[in-house]
Amino acid sequence: TQLLEQSPQFLSIQEGENLTVYCNSSSVFSSLQWYRQEPGEGPVLLVTVVTGGEVKKLKRLTFQFGDARKDSSLHITAAQPGDTGLYLCAGNSGGSNYKLTFGKGTLLTVNP
Amino acid sequence: DVKVTQSSRYLVKRTGEKVFLECVQDMDHENMFWYRQDPGLGLRLIYFSYDVKMKEKGDIPEGYSVSREKKERFSLILESASTNQTSMYLCASSLIDRDNSPLHFGNGTRLTVT
């Protein structure tokens, strides 16, 4: 069974601070997805990274896929209260989304 | 915009009851999934379906069954509910096996078994 370890599990910061969330595995993934889940809602896709070393930006969010496609990071610049939520990474091991492996998530709270 | 609708936001059932969780999607997606989400354990796949009447076990199928009689509807069945099935249940759908198709989730059903 492939595992994705996310760290930190919890993160509470002040508005305006920067942060990085990590998603690590000993296994290689064909792609990796990041989702955000807000309270009372289902997860929503933020980005998919496919190529080793790939960097994608979504406004203040920067996503990177490791060169070996075993790890990924999410960096948020100047966090805002609207960034509060549970961030989940999900690795695709078999080229099929049947085989997504989810990390346990990072619960981010951004205080005004 | 894809919409995945779960019939109930909250359910309270008694131990031993048969429980049906319903999920409907409106985007003609071939794939549908049922996950449960528990604190400290993340999302775990219970069952998925890639076509009408087709189903595959996920990582934790014990105590559950599913039904997909129509493409848009995927039901999760707890044959005899137990307290350890108290959880948040999330339904999702996606396009068929296209590279990296995202999952579209419903807003979840929080089930409590007493």
Q: Is the pLDDT of residue A106 over 90?
A: yes
Token pair belonging to B39: 């604190």
What is the per-residue pLDDT for B97? Answer: 63
Identify the band that residue A87 occupies on the pLDDT scale cut at 50, 70 and 90: very high
The answer to whether the CB atoms of A98 and B56 lie below 8 A apart is yes
* Entry field: residues in chain A: 112
* Entry field: residues in chain B: 114
Confirm or reject contact between A66 and chain B (CB < 8 A).
Answer: no
| More confident site: B99 or A21 | A21
For the sheet with B73-78, list strands across it. Answer: B4-6, B19-25, B73-78, B64-70
| Distance of residue A109 Cα from the nearest chain B Cα, in angstroms | 16
Q: Burial letters for B9-23: b for 16+ Cβ neighbours within 10 Å, e otherwise?
A: eebebeeeeebebeb
Which stretches in chain B have pLDDT values below 70?
A: 1-2, 97-99
Q: What is the 3-state secondary structure (H, E, C) of A9-72?
A: CEEEEECCCCEEEEEECCCCCCEEEEEEECCCCCCEEEEEECCCCCEEEECCEEEEECCCCCEE
> pLDDT of A31-75, one tens digit each?
899 999 999 899 999 999 999 999 999 999 999 999 999 999 999
Confirm or reject contact between A100 and chain B (CB < 8 A).
Answer: yes
